[in-house]
Chain A
Amino acid sequence: MKAFIAVENNAGIDSRLDNRFARAGYFMVYDMESDKILSIEENRFKNGAHGVGIETGNYLIKSGCKLAIGANPGPKAESILRAGNIEFYIAENCTAKEAIERYRAKA
Chain B
Amino acid sequence: MGKTKEIVILSGKGGTGKTTVAASLAELIHDKIIVDADVDAANMYLLMEPENIMETEFKGKSIANINTSICTSCNLCKELCRFNAIEVINGDYVVEDISCDGCRLCQTACPVDAIEMVEQIVGKWIIADTRFGDFIYARLNPGAENSGNLVAMVKRQSKLTAEEKNISTILIDGPPGIGCPVIASLSGSDYVIVVTEPSFSGISDLKRVLKLTEHFRIKTGIVVNKFDINVENTEKIEKFAQENKVEVLAKIPHSFCIIEEISKKNIPSINCKELKKPVIEIYNKIKDYFEAEMAN
Contact = CB atoms under 8 A, between A and B. Distances in A.
Say whether A and B bind each other: yes
Interface of A: 47, 49-50
A71 B148 CA distance: 24
Nearest to B163: A19
Nearest to A49: B149
A50 B150 CA distance: 11
- What 8 pairs between A and B have smallest CB-CB spacing? A49-B149, A49-B152, A49-B148, A49-B146, A50-B148, A49-B61, A50-B149, A47-B153
Contacts of B60: 49
10 contacts: A47-B153, A47-B156, A49-B60, A49-B61, A49-B146, A49-B148, A49-B149, A49-B152, A50-B148, A50-B149
A47 B149 CA distance: 9
Interface in B40-60: 60
Given A49-B61, A49-B149, A50-B149, 7 more contacts: A47-B153, A47-B156, A49-B60, A49-B146, A49-B148, A49-B152, A50-B148
A50 B148 CA distance: 9
Nearest to B151: A49
Interface in B142-164: 146, 148-149, 152-153, 156
A23 B60 CA distance: 18
Contacts of B146: 49
A5 to B, nearest CB: 21
Contacts of A47: 153, 156
A39 B114 CA distance: 36
A47 B59 CA distance: 11
Contacts of B61: 49
A19 B61 CA distance: 27
A47 B152 CA distance: 9
Nearest to A23: B156
Contacts of B153: 47
A93 B184 CA distance: 26
Contacts of A50: 148-149
A90 to B, nearest CB: 16
Contacts of A49: 60-61, 146, 148-149, 152
A47 B61 CA distance: 12
A28 to B, nearest CB: 22
Nearest to A46: B156
B133 to A, nearest CB: 23
A50 B146 CA distance: 11
Nearest to A19: B3
B60, B152, B153: most-surrounded residue (chain A CB, <10 A): B152
Nearest to B60: A49
B262 to A, nearest CB: 33
Interface in B58-116: 60-61
B2 to A, nearest CB: 13
A49 B122 CA distance: 13
A15 B61 CA distance: 32
